[in-house]
Amino acid sequence: MRRFVIALAVAVLATPLLAEDAFLSIGGSTGSFHTDMRIFNPSTTKDIQVTAYLLQTGNQDNSGAQSVTFTVPKRTQLVYNDVLSALFGVGGLGGLRLKSADDFVATQRIYALAADGSTTGQYIGGLDAAGARKKGVMLQIRNNGANGQIGTFRTNAGAVNPNATAANVTWRLYDKNNNLVGAAKQQVMPPLAVIAPTSVVSFAAPCPTPANGPCTAPGSADLTDSWLSYESDQPLFAYVSIVDNADGDGTLIPNYEDTGVAQQQQPSDQGKVFNVTLRAGAIIVDPNPDQALLKNDLVTFKIHSNDVEHGFRLVGPGGAVLTDRTYKPSDGTVSVIVTIPNDGTYAYSCTITTCSPQHNSMYGTFTVGDPGNYDKPGYN
C-alpha cells in the first residue's frame, strides 16, 4: 500500500509521549499535505491548561512566538484537524511547542490527500524537550535522484532548537565511502528556531577550493548510502526523511546519540578572523570590525574570557541572533563561525548580568555598509 511520510520528529515513539514541554518538529497544511493533532489529558481528577506556541520555519528566532492556551478536560482527547489553521488561523508549515504544568499526551498525523479522497501518512509522538541531543548521527541516507525517477531516492533533513538560547551547530555529511562531503557546515540556530525539511546536500558547506583540493562538492558526491552527523553547544532535535522517488514512500530516520565526537572540537578558522576578549567591564574585538566586513562575509570570532564566566551575544540588523553562548576561562579560546547576512549595525553584549559590577559596560557595535536606523544598545 502506498504511503507518504513527512519526517516530523527526531524519533517515532512506540507509545505517545507523556510530557510537560513537548515539541512537534514540523507540521501544517500546504498543497495536498495536512497535519492533524490530538491532545489527551490522562488525569482522572482535574482539567488541565496547555499552551501552544507557533514556531515559524526559516531558522529564525521564535522567542516571541504567537501562543494560544486551551483547556483539556479530565480523561478527554481534543481534536485539532489542520492544526495550525485550527489553533492559529494560518496555513503553511511550522513547528509546535506545547507546555503545561501537568502531564499530557500529544500526537500528530501527517498525511497527503489524494485526488480521489484517499490519504496516506504516519503518526508522530510529541518530543520531550529533555530528550534533545548535543551530538547526533543519522544513517542510511539515500540521495541519488529526483521526484519521478524510478529506482532513486531523495533525502531531506530538518532540525529544531528547543532552547531559549542560540545553538552553534556543526553539520557533517559523509558519502558512501565515509568521506566528508564538501566541508563541515557551521550554522547558528536562534532560540526556538525551526529548520524545515531541506535537501540533505544543503547541510554540507561548499568546498573551500573545489578546483584544487581533494574536497568532493555536495552536488557531485555519491550519496547512494551516506550519513549525517552534528554537534552543538545546545541540545537539538534533528531528523532525516528518505523518500522513494518512484511512489513517494518515505522513511523517517531519527538521530541517535553520537558518542564519538569531541563536543568542543574546534572548527578551522574561516574567512576574516577577529579575536574577542571578554573581561570585567569590556568586550575587546581585535581588529576593529567596524566597516571592515561586507554582506555575506564568512567570519571567525575567536572568543575567550580572561577572568570569570561571561556571555557573548551577537545580534544582527532586525534582531537576528547570530551567536549566543557563555565562556569560562577554562574553555580556552573558542572559534565561532558566522556569516554576515545584511548591511546594518551589529550589536554585541555580555549576557551574564552577575559577571561583575562593570557588566553594564560590556557591549559594543560595528557597522557593515549602510548602518540604517539603529538605537544604541544597553542594559535595563
**CA gap 115, 103 in Å, rounded:** 39
Pairing mode, if any, of strands 127-128 and 133-141? unpaired
The model's pLDDT over 335-367, given as tens digits with 9 standing for 90+, comes to 888 889 889 999 999 999 999 999 999 999 999
Mean per-residue pLDDT for 311-337?
Answer: 87
The model's pLDDT over 130-149, given as tens digits with 9 standing for 90+, comes to 889 999 999 999 999 988 89
Q: Within this chain, do residues 121 and 151 fall inside the same structural domain, yes or no? A: no
Specify the pTM. Answer: 0.67
**CA gap 105, 50 in Å, rounded:** 11
Q: Within this chain, do residues 151 and 238 fall inside the same structural domain, yes or no? A: yes
The model's pLDDT over 9-34, given as tens digits with 9 standing for 90+, comes to 333 333 455 558 999 988 888 877 78
Average pLDDT, the chain: 85
The model's pLDDT over 47-89, given as tens digits with 9 standing for 90+, comes to 999 999 999 999 999 999 999 999 999 999 999 999 999 999 9
The number of domains in the chain is 3
Q: Within this chain, do residues 145 and 124 fall inside the same structural domain, yes or no? A: no
Q: What is the CATH number of the domain that holds 223?
A: 2.60.290.11
Is pLDDT at 260 greater than 50 in this prediction? yes
Q: Within this chain, do residues 95 and 191 fall inside the same structural domain, yes or no? A: no
Domain membership of residue 167 (yes or no) is yes
Q: Cα angle vertex 308, ends 289, 323, to 5°?
A: 40
Domain membership of residue 5 (yes or no) is no
Final residue in a domain of this structure, among 213, 229, 257? 257
Whole-number pLDDT of residue 380:
40
Domain membership of residue 12 (yes or no) is no
Q: Within this chain, do residues 253 and 276 fall inside the same structural domain, yes or no? A: no
Q: Within this chain, do residues 240 and 159 fall inside the same structural domain, yes or no? A: yes
Whole-number pLDDT of residue 237:
95
**CA gap 229, 267 in Å, rounded:** 15
pLDDT tier for residue 222 given thresholds of 50, 70 and 90: very high
Q: Within this chain, do residues 97 and 154 fall inside the same structural domain, yes or no? A: no
Q: Which residue has the higher pLDDT, 235 or 126?
A: 235
Q: What is the CATH number of the domain that holds 53?
A: 2.60.290
Q: What is the CATH number of the domain that holds 331?
A: 2.60.40.420
Q: Within this chain, do residues 71 and 28 fall inside the same structural domain, yes or no? A: yes
Domain membership of residue 264 (yes or no) is no
Q: What is the number of other CB atoms lying within 10 angstroms of the CB of residue 47?
A: 13
Q: Within this chain, do residues 162 and 244 fall inside the same structural domain, yes or no? A: yes
pLDDT tier for residue 286 given thresholds of 50, 70 and 90: very high
Mean per-residue pLDDT for 103-114?
Answer: 84
Final residue in a domain of this structure, among 229, 257, 285? 257
Domain membership of residue 105 (yes or no) is yes
Q: Within this chain, do residues 144 and 175 fall inside the same structural domain, yes or no? A: yes
Mean per-residue pLDDT for 319-335?
Answer: 86
Q: How many residues does the chain have?
A: 380
Q: Within this chain, do residues 201 and 315 fall inside the same structural domain, yes or no? A: no
Domain membership of residue 241 (yes or no) is yes
Is pLDDT at 94 greater than 70 in this prediction? yes
Domain span at residue 244 reads 133-257
Q: Within this chain, do residues 72 and 90 fall inside the same structural domain, yes or no? A: yes
